[in-house]
């Protein structure tokens, strides 16, 4: 369990479809747990699946993020938080004193299309038109997104390299 005097970490991972958000989030969560941290890895897609749609869900997801932080767990939250309203919904229940640490993942449309095509668990995100729309949307919003402390191109850096970089920050005593 985390030290109760320690302020929990909120690590927000953003990126377009198939940029590696889930992979990085789960690998980072595992690394933090292995070091003795209590961590909740929260996937916006899981919440969408739970209620069978997107309506009102970002506020619920934000409530979940806040609830885990109030329990003194570190939270790795990943999803498409690109627009101010999406970011506000994510952060509305975050306790005072917790500052989101942002990680942005980038990939090309072509690599994302290849990744989604090879992933048998993918549904709608395999549709090239939907994927193109999503990538165009992200590109149009990049200049207005909240700034990230880290930006990684997942077409040139492995998930292990990315997690090693982040672990050195969040587990400095073990780096």
| C-alpha to C-alpha distance for 30 and 115, rounded to whole angstroms | 23
What is the per-residue pLDDT for 175? Answer: 44
What is the per-residue pLDDT for 46? Answer: 72
**Predicted confidence (pLDDT) per residue in 1-47, tens digit:** 455 557 899 999 999 999 999 999 999 999 999 999 999 999 887 77
What is the per-residue pLDDT for 80? Answer: 84
**Predicted confidence (pLDDT) per residue in 89-133, tens digit:** 999 999 999 999 999 999 999 999 999 988 877 777 778 999 999
- pTM confidence score: 0.90
What is the per-residue pLDDT for 58? Answer: 79
With contact defined as beta carbons under 8 Å apart, do 14 and 21 qualify? yes
Q: Which residue has the higher pLDDT, 54 or 21?
A: 21
* Close Cβ partners of 168 (under 8 Å, ≥ 6 residues apart): 175
The pair of structure tokens assigned to 106 is: 């980038």
**Predicted confidence (pLDDT) per residue in 121-171, tens digit:** 777 777 899 999 999 999 999 999 999 999 999 999 999 999 999 999 999
What is the per-residue pLDDT for 122? Answer: 74
Q: Which long-range contacts (CB under 8 A, 24 or more apart) does 50-58 make?
A: 58/86, 58/89, 58/90
What is the per-residue pLDDT for 59? Answer: 84
């Amino acid at each position: 369990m985390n030290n109760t005097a320690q302020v929990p970490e909120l690590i927000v991972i953003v990126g377009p479809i198939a940029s590696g958000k889930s992979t990085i989030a789960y690998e980072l969560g595992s690394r933090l747990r292995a070091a003795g941290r209590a961590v909740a890895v929260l996937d916006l897609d899981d919440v969408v699946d739970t209620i069978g749609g997107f309506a009102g869900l970002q506020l619920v997801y934000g409530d979940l993020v806040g609830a885990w932080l109030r329990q003194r767990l570190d939270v790795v939250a990943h999803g498409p938080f690109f627009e101010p309203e999406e970011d506000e919904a994510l952060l509305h229940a975050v306790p005072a004193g917790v500052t989101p640490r942002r990680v942005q993942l980038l990939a090309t449309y072509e690599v994302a299309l290849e990744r989604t095509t090879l992933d048998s668990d993918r549904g709608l995100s395999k549709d090239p038109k939907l994927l193109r729309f999503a990538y165009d949307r992200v590109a149009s919003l990049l200049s207005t997104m909240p700034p990230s402390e880290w930006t990684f191109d997942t077409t040139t850096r492995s998930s292990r390299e990315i997690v090693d970089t982040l672990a050195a920050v969040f587990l400095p005593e073990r780096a």
